[in-house]
Structure 1
Amino acid sequence: MPSSEVSLALFVPLIAKSDRLEDVEGFLGKGYELVQDEEETIQWMAAKYDDHTPPTFMIFDTFRAESGRNAHLTGKIAEALMANADALLAAGPEIAKPTILANNIGDPSKIKAGGLRNGLRVLLQAKSDKVQAVKEFLTGALPLVEAEPETLAWYALEFPGTKQFAIIDFFADDAGRNAHLTGEVAKALFANAEELLSSPPDIKKITVVAANVKV
């Protein structure tokens, strides 16, 4: 089920202090409670990068319009993040505002029954003369994603003003994630990577800490 109504996002990596990992996870769990009152925040996910040094978390959320994104940036969770950043984080949060090129929300019953448990964060750096081609590749990948029943949420992003793109997706378990990593989207990405990208895709496995998905 495409969620074409969401067109904007926030992507916020959080580098945790090594002795505050549990506190960061706890903060993100409380963030889940705060964001439920934000009617214009359509999907909100907090996750931890697996096997990553320095220890890194991320917040990813989606909106229908700039008004929703701005409301979130001035809301309770953003206020709490800034108030706790010095105590919890090794560096200040860097907030990126990507545009959603294409996205797909899978079977709502699976999302509600099993939740989103893990995912992938894939950064793509386009060659200077291949920016439009990368856009077209990502939007064209949507039918392939729709054919993956275990891919519960998938987003293709562009970071305006840069040559950088991203894919962020979520699954109920490792089986779903592994099926995606060996599926048609991944095959197409790697088949075209050398032509389109200035460096190999930067793929990080992530574990979901908390998620609030309106479907």
Structure 2
Amino acid sequence: MPSSEVSLALFVPLKAKDDKVNDVSQFLAAGLDLVLANEPETIQWYGVKYADTIPPTFAILDTFRAESGRAAHLNGKVAEALMANAPTLLSTGPQITQPTILANKVTVLGGTTKTAGLTVGLRVLLDAKPEFVQAVKEFLIGGLELVEAETETPVWYAFELPGTTKFGIVDFFADENGRNAHLNGKVAAALFGKADEWFAKPPSVVKFDVIAASVKM
């Protein structure tokens, strides 16, 4: 299955004010148009809404081939609009992290829908015990082979936050069947089988809905 030549990312959780949920959704939908019109170095871009979180939480994930693309995005129109609207829309400031992508699977589903054919996803955060940081990194890189065999997992990223013990997985699916298949698949079973040994606390798993997405190769 295809992999995208992206090595860098931005992952930005956004905690909305209770009465601004619809406004944040609309902001992310509009943000896609700004990215497409102004950011050729932003390769993939996703705006999502977490399920059943308090406060209501959204997130942006975008990927880049080079640091120049990430810098351009951080100084671009979406970031400018986000910072300008944050005091009105968000209960706290944007939590910007800059992951390095360890492995990815990106399959373009086709079509011109606002979500690029992706409707739901998963976000998994992992905090490794210091002595198992390398083992977790190697597991995530090697896990791509298992994910490639999952025909209903079209988009999958494994990343690390450099200089920390923290890792993450974000993946996207065309429908709930794909998400359930992944949750019951070999990658999840292997990961959770190591949870007590490798991680300082249990993996944090959140389901989300896709608001907008641009998936390029």
Structure 1-normalised TM-score?
A: 0.96
Deviation for aligned residue 1:111: 7.0
Matches within 5 A, 1:194-209: 194-209=196-211
Distance 2:207 2:82 in 1: 24
Q: Residue 42 of structure 1 aligns to which amino acid in structure 2?
A: I
3-state SS, counterpart of residue 204 of structure 1: strand
Gaps of 5+ in 1: none
How many residue pairs match? The answer is 214
Matches within 5 A, 1:59-70: 59-70=60-71
Percent identity at matched positions? 63
Distance 2:190 2:197 in 1: 12
Contact in 2 for aligned 1:111/1:152 (Cα 8 Å): no
Q: Residue 45 of structure 1 aligns to which amino acid in structure 2?
A: Y
For residues 71-127 of structure 1, what are the alpha-carbon distances to aligned partners after superposition, in whole Å with 9 as ceiling and x for unaligned? 000001000000100000000101000000000013x23676861101000000000
Distance 2:112 2:150 in 1: 18
Distance 1:174 1:40 in 2: 31
Judged with a 3 Å threshold, the aligned counterparts in structure 2 of structure 1 residues 109 and 47 are, in CA distance, closer, same or farther, namely: closer
Distance 2:61 2:143 in 1: 21
Match of 1:163 among 162, 165, 176: 165
Aligned to 2:6: 6
Distance 1:95 1:213 in 2: 21
When the two chains are superposed, the root-mean-square deviation of aligned CA atoms in Å is 1.3
For residues 115-156 of structure 1, what are the alpha-carbon distances to aligned partners after superposition, in whole Å with 9 as ceiling and x for unaligned? 110100000000010100000000010010000011010000
Gaps of 5+ in 2: none
Deviation for aligned residue 1:12: 0.1
1:213 aligns with 2:194: no
Match of 2:174 among 168, 172, 185: 172
Runs of at least 4 residues off by over 3 Å = 109-114
Aligned to 1:151: 153
Matches within 5 A, 1:85-96: 85-96=86-97
Contact in 1 for aligned 2:109/2:117 (Cα 8 Å): no
Aligned to 2:106: 105
3-state SS, counterpart of residue 95 of structure 2: coil
Contact in 1 for aligned 2:45/2:60 (Cα 8 Å): yes
Distance 1:97 1:112 in 2: 28
Contact in 1 for aligned 2:10/2:62 (Cα 8 Å): yes
Distance 1:3 1:145 in 2: 11
Distance 1:80 1:22 in 2: 16
3-state SS, counterpart of residue 154 of structure 2: strand
Distance 1:9 1:111 in 2: 24
